[in-house]
Amino acid sequence: MKKSKNGKRLVMKKWLRITLCLILFLSLLTSGVIIYNGLFPKDNSEKYYEYKVTRDADYKVYLKDNEFYEDKYLEKDKDYPANLIDFIDINLSYLFDGNFTTNMNYGYSVSADIIGEYTKSDSNKTKLWTKKYPILQPQNKQLYDTKSFDINQNIKLDYEEYNKIVSDFSKKLNLPIDAYLKVTVDIDYNGIVQKDKQKIKGEDMIELDIPLTNETMKITPKYTPTSNEIVKPSLNKNMKKVYLGIILLLGTILIFVLLHNQLFINKKNYYSKVSKRIFKKYKNILVETKEQININDYKVIDITNFIDLVDVEREFKSPILFFETIENKECEFIVIKDEYAYRYILNNSKYN
């Protein structure tokens, strides 16, 4: 880099300009990467929290007094004569068991939905009617420093009552339908793991499908008895990274603005810019000649910096002679003293 003695003008070497441009580009790219990683952290697939869930719906089908069965009820997973069913006794159970202590909030509710289906002429069924019946209002619980929570809930379904509702619907509308009762336990939970205050939350359910208006029926469970789940760390935004990236970005932009004129000087215009600046500042000590000065009879001393030539002029009180040797491309400034000619040549090569 070339620097004037008054410190007002810096002309960078070409290799230095290229190096600075590369550094600024890398700084800009780095700041973008830092901001992106802060706003969109990567999923490192690290296992954080594990838990096991056990679901079950045990039931007994109680019968009306009849001459065919000696037992009062029939066990689960059998076919049942619908006309002899009195009620269904269901024990619902749910066990959540994690690997770390947690402050846990959980809740559950039980509902039964009648779902009526109509068989179209093409033998395809379409859902025609649904009606929801709350069985148990939401139950909310809270536990502290626990690894698990469990739900045990007993409900009794009046099977004959739900059958009657469907029969009345069909008779009043003169519309034969197939129907079943969907019993659902809706479960939700959320908690804070004591290990490092990570949040966990989720929803789950247990379902049973119970056919209605059939001569025989069999209850179908619609749940997975057990499952193992893994919770990964939540991917929260890292605002420290974002702020660091923004600071680096703003710093890069500021440096770019300050050095823009030095980094992107147009080589073709360098000669005209510098020559105009010299004439504007030193016009009082410059003398333009009509012809090129013959310096063959002098001992020529080439000066590498125009300011040094100004110092020579001030020392010898001799004007600086100017002549443009190549129009708009090159000129020379000369101070003659005795047998010496002090010469400074300005052209575009000074830019590099």
Please indicate, yes or no, whether residues 259 and 345 belong to a single structural domain of this protein: no
* SS3 of residue 311 by DSSP: helix
Residue located via tokens 């536990």: 143
Give the pLDDT score at 46.
Answer: 59
Please indicate, yes or no, whether residues 108 and 35 belong to a single structural domain of this protein: no
Please indicate, yes or no, whether residues 129 and 174 belong to a single structural domain of this protein: yes
In the numeric block, which tokens belong to residue 18?
């290229």
Please indicate, yes or no, whether residues 342 and 196 belong to a single structural domain of this protein: no
> Above 60 in pLDDT, residue 5?
no
Please indicate, yes or no, whether residues 282 and 309 belong to a single structural domain of this protein: yes
* SS3 of residue 32 by DSSP: helix
Range in 150-164, 200-214, 225-239 the model is least confident about: 225-239
Q: How many domains does the chain have?
A: 3
* Cβ pair 275, 325 in contact under 8 A: no
Please indicate, yes or no, whether residues 214 and 129 belong to a single structural domain of this protein: yes
- Which residues, at least 6 apart from 94, have a Cβ–Cβ distance to it below 8 Å? 53, 54, 55, 56, 108, 150, 151, 185, 187, 204, 206
Please indicate, yes or no, whether residues 5 and 115 belong to a single structural domain of this protein: no
- Which structural domain, as residue segments, surrounds residue 344? 267-352
CA 214 to chain centre: 53
Range in 124-128, 262-266, 287-291 the model is least confident about: 262-266
What does the alpha-carbon distance between residue 104 and residue 147 come to, in Å, rounded to a whole number? 9
Give the pLDDT score at 266.
Answer: 55
Structure confidence by residue, pLDDT tens digits, 194-212 = 887 888 889 999 999 999 9
Structure confidence by residue, pLDDT tens digits, 288-320 = 998 988 989 899 999 988 999 999 999 998 999
Please indicate, yes or no, whether residues 194 and 242 belong to a single structural domain of this protein: no
Please indicate, yes or no, whether residues 62 and 142 belong to a single structural domain of this protein: yes
Please indicate, yes or no, whether residues 176 and 251 belong to a single structural domain of this protein: no
Please indicate, yes or no, whether residues 119 and 154 belong to a single structural domain of this protein: yes
- Which one of 265, 282, 311 terminates a domain? 265
Please indicate, yes or no, whether residues 127 and 2 belong to a single structural domain of this protein: no
What does the alpha-carbon distance between residue 172 and residue 165 come to, in Å, rounded to a whole number? 11
- Which one of 217, 249, 265 terminates a domain? 265
Structure confidence by residue, pLDDT tens digits, 80-98 = 999 999 999 999 999 999 9
- Which one of 179, 214, 231 terminates a domain? 231
Which secondary-structure segment (H or E) carries 251?
A: helix 239-263
Q: What's the distance, Cα to Cα, between the start and end of the chain in Å?
A: 9
Selected residue with higher pLDDT from 21 and 320: 320
pLDDT band for position 236 (50/70/90)?
low
pLDDT band for position 234 (50/70/90)?
low
Q: Are strands 2-3 and 73-74 parallel, antiparallel or unpaired?
A: unpaired
